Amino acid sequence: MSVTTAVGLAVVWPFAGIILIALFRRWPNIREAASLLTAGSLFAVVAGAILPAVQGGARPRLDIVEVLPGLSLAFEVEPLGMLFALVASGLWIVTTLYSIGYMRGHHEENQTRFYICFALAISGAVGVAFAANVFTLFVFYEAITLSTYPLVTHHGTEAAKKAGRVYLGILMGTSVAFLLLALVWTYWAVGTTDFRPGGILAGKVGGWQLVVLLALYAFGTGKAALMPFHRWLPAAMVAPTPVSALLHAVAVVKAGVFTVLKIIVYVFGIDLLHTTDASRWLTWAAAFTIIAASVIALTKDNLKARLAYSTISQLSYIVLGGALATSAGVLGGGMHIAMHAFGKITLFFCAGAILVGAHKSEISQMDGLGRRMPFTFGAFLLGSLSVIGLPPMGGSWSKWYLVLGAVEAEHLVMMLVLMASSLLSIGYLMPVVGRAFFRPPPMDEEDEHNPGSGIHEAPFLCVLPPVLTGVGCVVLFFYAEDVYRLLTGIVTP
């Protein structure tokens, strides 16, 4: 199989899973085996057939159709997209494992629809990752929004429907009002929307227009959750926990920040932004989101709500890395896509395991629970340390390069923002671990629900995935050089 064929296959392969899932909807074991097989084989295609070529310096391209002169539906794999595709396809495997345990343990309805929509979202994520131009990226960006809407409204309650309206309203509203306008403006000014090393806007757009165009892209990418277009993310927490994992780590928000970073690198070009200072305002917008969301997270007692605001804060690390317009900043932002994905998916997996195994969702109710669920809270500790950015966790490397990016940009305030954010992360994550392991359980609970009455974890498939991704946070610390080496291609000629 040629690399070009593998690129096209990676985008459409989830549809093979969709067909199998629909065919075997009456036999849950076979249906879920088909979902797992599709996820595993997709990762094999991405990591086995495409990654070696990209590591060797190739940029495999597949042209589908030319819509207008200079505007085509096409795929081209470059290092940043390669990393995103690896993250999305790899984490699909563990999320599917987790979904089996959670959906059965929580007795969720409409499980076939859930697995189908999940596969559609992964196809959209791979399409975004491999997009050769802004037009193709926009098409698959919207596909992710539409395919995840049924997941957000999965429970069918009034609260879920309301959350779905917020979700769809903000994401579709920002993309149509701002992102589509930016796409048209770019095509009108340059005659193409292709992603090219060094960018395509130099000499075509300048002055205040450059600032406005960047604002349209940044705020038009609502999935990046820059304030004030962030409310969809906390609202979507009414969805089942596997959906939260998809939203926060696998596809949705990562597609958002990936889009912003890719456009900064390949449409604007970091040299253009650095010399014109056109992205300086975006560093302040990202910094505000980082700090404000962290402060709000401190006030949330509901664990998923706290983690949602943590995600909003952490996503803006990636936006900040691009807005700094330095090599180290872009590399740090790119690395944070992978490092945050593993850390945050671990935390959401744990939140779901706690709900299934102990029926707890409020942090104030988790006193002593670590004694009953040591594997779950041990994994939570690993994910927390990575999000905070402490070694030996992968998150420490991405934050290190972001700080170096601020040094390169001579932006002392942004260094302080990153440090303050890590301290705030300690403030909203470590109390969860502290309550679970170091506070006594409530005395008025019945013995069978008492955390002190022995180990009573959630079902095995709810516990294994967070343990695996938690260990993955440690592994990424030692293999961060491989991620760094892959990404250097986006900042070197």
Residue 31 has pLDDT above 70, yes or no: yes
pLDDT at 448: 47
Average pLDDT over residues 352-361: 90
pLDDT at 451: 45
Q: What confidence tens digit (pLDDT) does each residue in 408-460 have?
A: 999 999 999 999 999 999 999 999 999 999 988 887 654 444 444 578 898 89
Q: What confidence tens digit (pLDDT) does each residue in 11-27 have?
A: 999 999 999 999 999 99
pLDDT at 108: 76
pLDDT at 156: 82
Q: What confidence tens digit (pLDDT) does each residue in 128-157 have?
A: 999 999 999 999 999 999 999 998 998 888
Separation CA 420–CA 490 (nearest Å): 29
Identify residue 369 by its one-letter amino acid code.
Answer: L
Token couple for 484? 């760094």
Token couple for 196? 């090219």
Average pLDDT over residues 79-94: 95
